[in-house]
């Protein structure tokens, strides 16, 4: 089941493209010190201090910031934290959604009522304003609060779709058989149900990571993150606060956004591929 | 018998898949006389639905007719221009689908769905007249006229299927294809619908191709019966005779098994094993792997469908002397 | 009718929950943010300090239930406290100035993007084998992956800064006022075009993708095959048989998407310094104007809940099954 899934995934062109883009970003993140010409917080080298607000030059391919940081180096190092926050948030969100979806879909009854109820509240409350309010109350600015806030508000949709899928899978014959045989419910959940909703879990991961990357960038752009951290979001924050636009410094605000979009697209592509694979109607035959 | 209304010659139809061509209907020929009722039976996946869709020219996306002829009232439908097809279809040949629940548009009233088919084929007909006709048709299938403006979900499963039958008959076609029209219904409702179909057929004299996996259903109402297995007709003849004296081992198996009343089952009680993968059909007789009476010859070459008696054909070496 | 009652009850209940979250949130926060803020903002007027204390539940002399009751009473009287950044203006008065801009801009842009997105989604699902459909789909998958604000920055850069075809920001030029009548309206439209385009284009992908997938599911239904077999015209099949059914889940899926789209739109206002609720939210965050921040959250939430309610009613009108309570 899972193997077939992965095979189809690899064979899907959209998934492959997404995977390639993602791998490139991962390589950039891992080997940042080798690729980047300078350290992200370096303002001078042997030749002297870096110029401020420099245009692209042969030394600083994407120019420098108002504080004299090399933009290209920041962009490359920024991949690390951006990717980390996005993926970790995606994983936590998916985990929460999966746990709640499984519990509520399989055990039904009271637990389900309570979870579904909280779920529908979280679904209708607009997440970004909620995130902004919560984030602005948190006095410690940093990566961890962002991850927590984004995961706390992002699980609702995933939990809802996983629940309904679990409901339908648990009506299937092989689950009924396992139940009649008196199998431990947790074993049923993990051995019989989980493998059958794996594509949905993957899709949830891709969408929540996509949402997390955009959410992270947005929070940081507003200044609700740790502004001294090096991420694409904070790069845009500094660019905006220093009127990069009006200085015509496209090399400052264009690349980080483009990278956010590309990274987002890679997840969007993989998500779309999963949809195609698991829904034979959408699949182009 | 009267003249043939439908003649199918060497029809090959199926689906183009990633793994190659799947021939769900493989070199199939038969003909249907005017007013005749032919039953086609077989397990799910034997190609009987594909056959129905092929005759209606409704195979789409990756589905297609690879070769052969479908001569309907003397005209070959394969390769017919779309516009001509559109005009002819439903007017002269219509279809009742397996699940009435899914065959009716849930957001439109029954009346709208009966009226629009008339408007599409009879240019300039007034809504009033069309509604009148729709009401008449409902009456024919025993649905109270006050249900004319009901939405599909307000009707029972049996009523919905009656509406579909009314819809199929509304333009007075010569042929109605019924693709498992009673499968989703319970036994009593099944009986009633079958009776109704029989009554209407006698009254309006249309031909019927009735497709089902439930052989017992067919015996009483069919004139002739075709048993399909893995894309081929393996036995063909008068319904009563086949019922009394099945020849092909597969037909015998079908007779002995009691198919489920609801839905298809992958494996028939009476015959162990599963139908072959149509992407890679076995070289010889397609029933070979499951056959109790298989012989050496059987897995070398597919036996032809040959006459074994009066108006009786079977594709099995048991009846093709000399090889016993 | 039962459906209508249920949805109305849910609306009231959800608003109540939003009010409660709004009440609990500051009281849940670790540490003592209120004191930090009061200390940060030197020379704050006593009334503003009271406002913050009330907002954070620092009125330690009162029990939490009394505070909650006071809070509900105050809100029912339209009293949301005093703004810190616009001191001594009342939060409600500050908010009231921003609301019309946001409702106007976001309302029009959202409706437009829903209409265009839906039409486009129907079209590309209908012709899903064509290369053009694939290209449109790919383009919007790509656009959808960008933060709205960045897309806004790009448009400002190219169409307002590099080529000064549009203004850089604001809702109308400073030189015109309501007294100028038509010129004022023209200026508003002119200023709204670019931010409106950002919201429309960025959110369009959402609606388009949803309706496309619904549409493809619906196109595989038997009743579509029946419609084709019946010989109906292409338009009738596409619109009355396919699209009308595909739109239904799209409208009920509005809930999640709208909450998301509105978030993006708020940030778009920030980029364009558009004097709406989003820009105000941005300022409230920067100036740590918590009473205003909370009021904005409350208003957006109520706005989304009401939009959802409207969607619920719309679906009741469009789906006979829901009217009869059969689904």
Higher per-residue pLDDT: B299 or B212:
B212
Tally the domains of chain B.
1
What's the rounded mean pLDDT across residues B71-77?
90
Q: Do A257 and C161 touch (CB under 8 A)?
A: no
Based on the fold, state whether residues C251 and C295 are members of the same structural domain. Answer: yes
Same domain, C144 and C182: yes
Spatial separation of the C-alpha atoms in residues C77 and A7, rounded to whole Å: 61
B31 pairs with which residues across the strands?
Answer: B7
Place of tokens 């919007």: C140
Chain C touching partners, 3 or more CB pairs below 8 A: A, B
Out of C221, C229, C324, whose CB is closest to B58?
A: C229
d(CA B161, CA B176): 14
Mutate to test the interface with B, among C126, C218, C219, C229 (most CBs of B within 10 A): C229
Give the pLDDT confidence of B192-215 residue by residue, as tens digits: 888 889 899 989 999 999 998 888
User: Of the candidates B94, B98, B116, which has its C-beta nearest C232's C-beta?
Assistant: B116
Chain C residues with a Cβ under 8 Å from any Cβ in chain B: 221-223, 225-233, 236, 240-241, 244-245, 248, 318-321, 324, 326-327
C235: number of Cβ within 10 Å: 8
A234 and A225 Cβ atoms separated by less than 8 Å: yes
Q: How confident is the model at residue B258 (pLDDT cuts 50, 70, 90)?
A: low
Q: Which residues in chain C come in under a pLDDT of 70?
A: 29-61, 255-256, 326-327
Q: Give all chains having 3 or more CB-to-CB distances under 8 Å with chain A.
A: B, C
The pLDDT value recorded for residue C262 is 82
Domain-embedded: residue C302? yes
Contacts of B172 (CB under 8 A, 6+ apart): B204, B206
C205 and C72 in a common domain: no
Does a structural domain hold residue B43?
yes
Q: Which residues of A27-43 are buried (b: 16+ CB within 10 A; e: fewer)?
A: ebbeebeeebebbbeee
C-alpha distances (whole Å) from C278 to each of C105, C174, C262, C267 are 11, 20, 9, 6
Tell me the pLDDT tens digit for each residue of A145-194.
889 888 988 898 899 989 989 988 888 888 888 888 888 888 888 888 88
Model pLDDT, residue B267:
44
Q: From chain A, pick out residues whose CB is under 8 angstroms from the CB of C201.
A: none
Q: Which residues of A234-266 are buried (b: 16+ CB within 10 A; e: fewer)?
A: bbbbbbbebebbeeebbbbbbbbbebbbbbbbb
Residue A191 lies in a domain: yes
Cβ pair C127, C214 in contact under 8 A: no
Question: What residue of B is the nearest CA neighbor of A283?
Answer: B61
Which residues in chain C are contacts of A138 at CB distance < 8 A? 29-30
- Between the alpha carbon of residue B5 and those of residues B12, B86, B116, B209, the distances in Å are 20, 19, 27, 12
- Tell me the pLDDT tens digit for each residue of B232-257: 888 898 888 888 888 888 888 877 76
The backbone torsions φ and ψ at residue A48, rounded to the nearest 5 degrees and listed phi first, read 120, -175
Q: What is the pLDDT of residues A70-118, one digit of tens each?
A: 889 899 999 999 999 999 999 999 999 999 999 998 888 899 999 998 9
Q: Please tell me the pTM assigned to this model.
A: 0.84
A165–chain C nearest CA distance, Å: 17
Let me know if residue B315 belongs to a domain: yes
* Cβ neighbours of A156 in C, within 8 Å: 256
Option in C223, C245, C326 nearest B103 (CB): C223
In terms of domains, do C234 and C273 share one? yes
Nearest to B153 among C225, C232, C326 (CB): C326
HSE-up of A266 (CA within 13 Å, CB side)?
Answer: 21
Beta carbons of C315 and C251 less than 8 angstroms apart? yes
Please tell me the distance from the alpha carbon of residue A229 to that of residue A233, in angstroms, as a whole number.
9
Q: Is B99 a domain residue?
A: no
Q: Pick from A127, A256, A264: which is nearest to C263 by CB?
A: A127
> How confident is the prediction for chain B on average, in pLDDT?
85
Chain B contact for A285 (CB, 8 A cutoff): yes
The helix (H) or strand (E) run that includes residue C73 is helix C64-76
Query: In this structure, are C11 and C136 located in the same domain?
Result: no
Neighbour-count burial for C18-48, b at 16+ CB within 10 Å, e otherwise: bbebbbebbeebeeebbeebbeebeebeeeb
Domain count for chain C, please give it: 2
CATH number, domain of A148, equals 1.10.3720.10
Residue span of the structural domain in which C242 resides: 91-326
Per the domain annotation, does A61 fall within a domain?
no
Show the domain range for A227. 2-31+69-284
In whole angstroms, give the CA distance from residue B54 to residue B61: 13
Say if residue B34 is preceded by a cis peptide, omega within 30 of 0. no
Which strands make up the sheet holding B63-72, listed edge to edge?
B20-33, B4-17, B63-72, B75-76
For tokens 């029972």, the residue is B156
Alpha helix positions (H), B175-236 = 187-204, 215-221
CA-CA distance, A241 to A219, in Å (whole number)? 14
The Cα-based distances of C253 to A93, A158, A159, C301 in angstroms read 20, 13, 15, 17
Better-predicted residue by pLDDT, C152 or A46? C152
Number of structural domains (chain A) is 1
Would you say A105 and A164 are in contact if contact means Cβ atoms under 8 Å apart?
yes
User: Do C103 and C178 share a structural domain?
Assistant: yes
- The domain boundary, picked from C50, C76, C102, lies at C76
Chain C nearest CA to B124, separation (Å): 14
Smallest Cα distance from A285 to chain B, Å: 7
Question: Are C301 and A126 inside 8 Å of each other by CB?
Answer: yes
* Confidence check: pLDDT of B312 > 90: no
CB B212 within 8 A of CB B41: yes
C84 within domain boundaries: no
Tally of residues, chain C: 327
CA B293-B297-B303 angle, 5° bins: 85
pLDDT above 80: residue B266 = no
In whole numbers, what is the pLDDT of chain A averaged over residues?
A: 86
Element (H, E) at A62: none
User: Cβ–Cβ contacts within 10 Å for residue C238, how many?
Assistant: 20
User: Could you identify the residue written with the tokens 């589905």?
Assistant: B63
CA distance B188 to chain A (A): 27
Do C193 and C270 reside in the same domain of the chain? yes
Judge: A281–C282 Cβ closer than 8 Å, yes or no.
no
pLDDT at A6 > cutoff 80 = no
Contact between B117 and B90 under an 8 Å Cβ cutoff? The reply is yes
Do both C152 and C35 map to the same domain? no
Read off the pLDDT of residues B154-204 as tens digits, 9 standing for 90 and up.
998 889 999 999 999 999 999 999 998 887 778 888 888 888 898 999 899
CB contact under 8 A, A139 and C14: no
Residues of C in contact with B87 (CB under 8 A): 231
Same domain, C52 and C195: no
User: Does B124 reside within a domain?
Assistant: no
**Token pair 């002397």 is at which residue?**
B321
Any residues with CB less than 8 A from the CB of A165 and at least 6 apart, and which? A101, A105, A197, A200
Q: What residues of chain C lie within 8 A of the CB of A139, using their CB?
A: 31, 33, 36
What's the CA gap between A25 and A35, in Å, rounded?
12
ipTM value, please give it.
Answer: 0.85
pLDDT of residue C51: 67
Residues C135 and C25 in one domain: no
**A217:C150 CB<8 A:** yes
Q: What is the pLDDT of residue A23?
A: 94
Is pLDDT larger for residue C198 or for residue B217? C198
Write the CATH number for C243.
1.10.3720.10
Question: From A281, which residue of chain C is nearest by alpha-carbon distance?
Answer: C217
Q: What is the mean pLDDT of residues B72-95?
A: 91
Is the same domain home to C95 and C72?
no
Q: Domain end: C25, C52, C76, which one?
A: C76
| Residue B61 contacts A, CB cutoff 8 Å | yes
Task: Please indicate whether, in this complex, the C-beta atoms of C231 and B116 are within 8 angstroms of each other.
Answer: no
Average pLDDT of the residues in A215-225: 88
Nearest CA in chain C to B114: C230
Do the domain assignments include residue B127?
no
Verify that C97 and C184 share a domain, yes or no.
yes
Looking only at the bridges linking them, the beta strands covering B232-238 and B75-76 are: unpaired
**B208 strand-pairing partners:** B37, B176
CB C151 within 8 A of CB C201: yes
Residue B23: domain span: 4-92+173-260+269-319
Residue A62 has pLDDT above 90, yes or no: no
For C316, which residue in chain B has the nearest alpha carbon? B107
Residue B260 pLDDT: 46
Q: State both tokens at A261.
A: 């979009």
* pLDDT value of position B192: 87
Nearest-angstrom CA–CA distance, B49 and B178: 10
Residue C255: the pLDDT is: 66
**How many angstroms separate the Cα of B152 from the Cα of each of B75, C1, C225, C315?**
36, 20, 17, 17
């Amino acid at each position: 089941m899972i193997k077939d899934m992965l095979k189809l995934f690899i064979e899907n062109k959209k998934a492959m493209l997404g995977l390639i883009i993602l791998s490139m970003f991962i390589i950039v993140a891992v080997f940042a010190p080798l690729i980047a010409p300078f350290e992200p917080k370096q303002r001078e080298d042997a030749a002297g201090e870096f110029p401020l607000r420099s245009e692209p030059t042969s030394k600083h391919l994407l120019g420098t910031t108002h504080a004299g940081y090399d933009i290209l180096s920041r962009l490359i190092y920024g991949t690390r934290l951006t990717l980390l926050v996005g993926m970790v948030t995606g994983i936590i969100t998916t985990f929460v959604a999966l746990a709640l979806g499984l519990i509520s879909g399989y055990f039904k009854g009271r637990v389900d009522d309570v979870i579904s109820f909280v779920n529908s509240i979280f679904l209708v409350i607009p997440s970004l304003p909620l995130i902004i309010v919560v984030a602005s109350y948190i006095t410690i600015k940093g990566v961890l609060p962002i991850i927590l806030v984004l995961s706390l508000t992002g699980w609702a949709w995933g939990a809802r779709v996983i629940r309904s899928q679990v409901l339908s899978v648990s009506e299937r014959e092989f689950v009924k058989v396992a139940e009649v045989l008196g199998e431990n419910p947790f074993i049923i959940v993990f051995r019989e149900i989980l493998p059958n909703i794996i594509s949905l879990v993957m899709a949830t991961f891709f969408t929540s990571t996509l949402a997390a990357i955009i959410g992270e960038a947005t929070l940081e752009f507003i200044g609700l993150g740790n502004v001294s951290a090096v991420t694409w979001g904070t790069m845009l924050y500094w660019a905006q606060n220093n009127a990069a636009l009006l200085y015509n410094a496209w090399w400052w605000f264009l690349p980080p956004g483009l990278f956010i979009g590309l990274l987002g697209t890679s997840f969007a592509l993989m998500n779309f591929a999963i949809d195609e694979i698991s829904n034979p109607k959408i699949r182009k035959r | 018998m009267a003249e043939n209304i439908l003649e199918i010659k060497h029809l090959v139809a199926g689906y183009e898949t990633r793994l190659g061509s799947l021939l769900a209907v493989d070199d199939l020929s038969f003909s249907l006389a005017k007013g005749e009722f032919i039953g086609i039976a077989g397990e799910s996946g034997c190609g009987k639905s594909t056959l129905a869709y092929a005759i209606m020219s409704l195979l789409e996306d990756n589905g297609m007719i690879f070769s052969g002829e479908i001569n309907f009232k003397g005209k070959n439908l394969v390769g017919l221009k779309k516009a001509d097809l559109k005009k002819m279809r439903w007017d002269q040949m219509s279809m009742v689908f397996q699940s009435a629940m899914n065959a009716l548009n849930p957001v439109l009233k029954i009346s709208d769905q009966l009226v629009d088919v008339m408007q599409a084929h009879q240019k300039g007909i007034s809504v009033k007249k069309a509604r009148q006709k729709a009401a008449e048709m409902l009456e024919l299938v025993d649905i109270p006229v006050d249900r004319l403006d009901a939405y599909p979900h307000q009707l029972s499963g049996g009523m919905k299927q009656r509406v579909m039958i009314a819809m199929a008959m509304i333009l007075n076609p010569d042929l109605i294809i019924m693709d498992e029209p009673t499968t989703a219904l319970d036994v009593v409702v099944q009986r009633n619908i079958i009776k109704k179909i029989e009554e209407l057929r006698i009254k309006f004299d249309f031909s019927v191709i009735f497709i089902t996996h439930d052989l017992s259903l067919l015996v009483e109402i069919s004139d002739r019966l075709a048993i399909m297995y893995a894309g081929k007709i393996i036995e063909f003849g008068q319904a009563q005779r086949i019922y009394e004296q099945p020849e092909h081992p597969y037909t015998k198996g079908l007779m002995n098994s009691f198919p489920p009343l609801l839905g298809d089952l992958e494996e028939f009680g009476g015959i162990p094993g599963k139908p072959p993968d149509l992407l890679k059909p076995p070289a010889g007789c397609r029933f070979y792997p499951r056959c109790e009476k298989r012989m050496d010859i059987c897995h070398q070459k597919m036996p032809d469908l040959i006459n074994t008696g009066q108006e009786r054909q079977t594709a099995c070496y048991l009846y093709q002397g000399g090889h016993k | 009718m039962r459906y209508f009652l249920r949805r109305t009850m849910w609306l009231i209940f959800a608003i109540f929950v939003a009010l409660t979250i709004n009440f609990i949130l500051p009281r849940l926060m670790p540490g003592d943010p209120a004191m930090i803020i009061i200390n940060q903002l030197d020379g704050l007027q006593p009334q503003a300090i009271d406002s913050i204390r009330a907002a954070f539940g620092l009125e330690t002399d009162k029990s939490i239930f009394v505070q909650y009751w006071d809070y509900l009473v105050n809100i029912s009287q339209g009293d949301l406290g005093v703004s810190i950044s616009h001191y001594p203006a009342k939060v409600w008065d500050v908010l009231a100035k921003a609301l019309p801009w946001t409702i106007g801009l976001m309302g029009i842009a959202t409706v437009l993007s829903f209409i265009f997105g839906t039409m486009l989604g129907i079209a590309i699902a209908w012709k899903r084998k064509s290369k053009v459909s694939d290209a449109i789909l790919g383009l919007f998958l790509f656009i959808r992956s960008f933060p709205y604000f960045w897309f806004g920055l790009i448009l400002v850069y190219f169409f307002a800064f590099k080529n000064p075809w549009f203004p850089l920001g604001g809702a109308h030029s400073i030189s015109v006022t309501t007294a100028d009548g038509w010129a004022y309206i023209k200026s508003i439209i002119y200023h709204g075009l670019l931010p409106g385009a950002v919201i429309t284009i960025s959110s369009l992908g959402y609606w388009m993708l949803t309706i496309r997938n619904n549409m493809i599911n619906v196109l595989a239904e038997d009743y579509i095959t029946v419609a084709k077999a019946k010989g109906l015209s292409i338009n009738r099949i596409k619109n009355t048989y396919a699209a009308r059914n595909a739109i239904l889940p799209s409208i009920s899926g509005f809930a999640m998407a709208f909450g998301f789209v509105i978030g993006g739109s708020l940030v778009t206002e920030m980029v364009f310094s558009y004097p709406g609720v989003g820009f105000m939210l941005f300022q409230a965050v920067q100036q740590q104007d918590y009473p205003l921040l909370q009021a904005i959250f409350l208003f957006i939430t109520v706005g989304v809940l009401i939009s959802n309610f409207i969607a619920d009613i719309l679906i009741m009108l469009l789906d006979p099954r829901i009217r009869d309570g059969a689904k």
